[in-house]
A and B are shown apart, each in its own frame.
Chain A
């Protein structure tokens, strides 16, 4: 298990505190930034570690945001997991509590309607970017490229066309991958 010195752990925590307020549209919209920070800027994790963290969080029950403590865990063990989870949730949670109490009665004012309408297409663009970054390691891996790309496309198709629960697709992906087909 990796560890980080206390100073870098504190930096990780502070970075996640600021990210928290930017995570409009859910945890997955911050995934590209997590990738940039952990893989590109800090070099704490590789591309494959990053995709594994997202896959584990998808495979396990619970909110998708749990890929964030897994990244923290991979970089810095349990203290990293705790710093990442508390950091990413604390500011947004306090803000949400405040806004919720302030009341939803102003949702129909022009400024708030403009805010939701203006942010929506950006959120969609960010989720597409997340899908692209998750697919990227497969594009660069000639040994598994074709099987993985077919699996990605099939998953997207089944998700869009059926009501099948994701757990079955994840299980199928695990079986196909273990058999060396993807």
Chain B
């Protein structure tokens, strides 16, 4: 059982707090603009280490919730932090800060690359960046593989569900909805069944440690 069974870590243990929704907007804009190839690490450094708006525990707590909800993790994280300080206005300020400036930059790049791509060097550069993007995602997948080690489903069921999703998408090109709903309900049911078995085993006095 996690040490935070008594509920999410409070924001009260943070040394400082943002002065206004506008301060949130500025802070999230600045951290998003530093986030090349991933915002999470920058968010942790800016919000926890440098500005002191969140304790390390509160950051991990909120991120683990953000992770299991649909939607981009860092967007969910921004919204939760903003909401806890200033309600929906804070949530809106944090999300807008996270997305507005990077959105304008990436669209400007997309618009100019259509003209620039006529040059072979630019097409080559984009091809090289595409290969790096593929490598980054594959490395992220390998890193995520390590987090499954502690999964209560055990290695065989994890492999079954993971390979099932991979083959359904990469080989059969099935729509994501079928996979998330079909395999998701299967995985949920299997995990609930495993918890029941583990709980029953833990309840037996001869196994208690």
Q: Say whether A10 faces chain B, with CB atoms less than 8 Å apart.
A: no
Residues of B133-171 whose CB lies within 8 A of A: 133-145, 147-148, 151-153, 157-166, 169-170
With contacts A30-B176, A97-B83 taken as known, whether A121 is within 8 angstroms of B72 at the C-beta atoms is: no
CB atoms of B195 and A114 under 8 A apart: yes
Q: A24-B69, A62-B39, A92-B69 are in contact. Are A154 and B135 (CB under 8 A)?
A: yes
Which of B19-27, B49-57, B74-82 sits within the interface?
A: B74-82
B66 within 8 A of A: yes
Q: Contact at B131–A169, with CB atoms within 8 Å?
A: no
Main secondary structure of the interface of B (DSSP, over half): helix
Contact A170 B36 (CB under 8 A): yes
Chain A CB count within 10 A is highest, among B117, B120, B142, B191, for B191
B72 contacts which chain A residues (CB < 8 A)?
Answer: 23, 26-27, 63-65, 89, 92
- Asked if B65 and A62 sit within 8 Å, CB to CB, the answer is no
CA distance A81 to B190 in the complex (A): 39
A23 B71 Cβ-Cβ under 8 A: yes
Expressed in whole angstroms, the Cα–Cα distance for A180 and B120 within the complex equals 9
Interface residues of B in 76-108 (CB under 8 A from A): 76, 79-80, 83-84, 88, 91, 95, 98-99, 101-103, 105-107
Interface residue from B34, B107, B125, B134 paired with A135 (Cβ < 8 Å):
B134
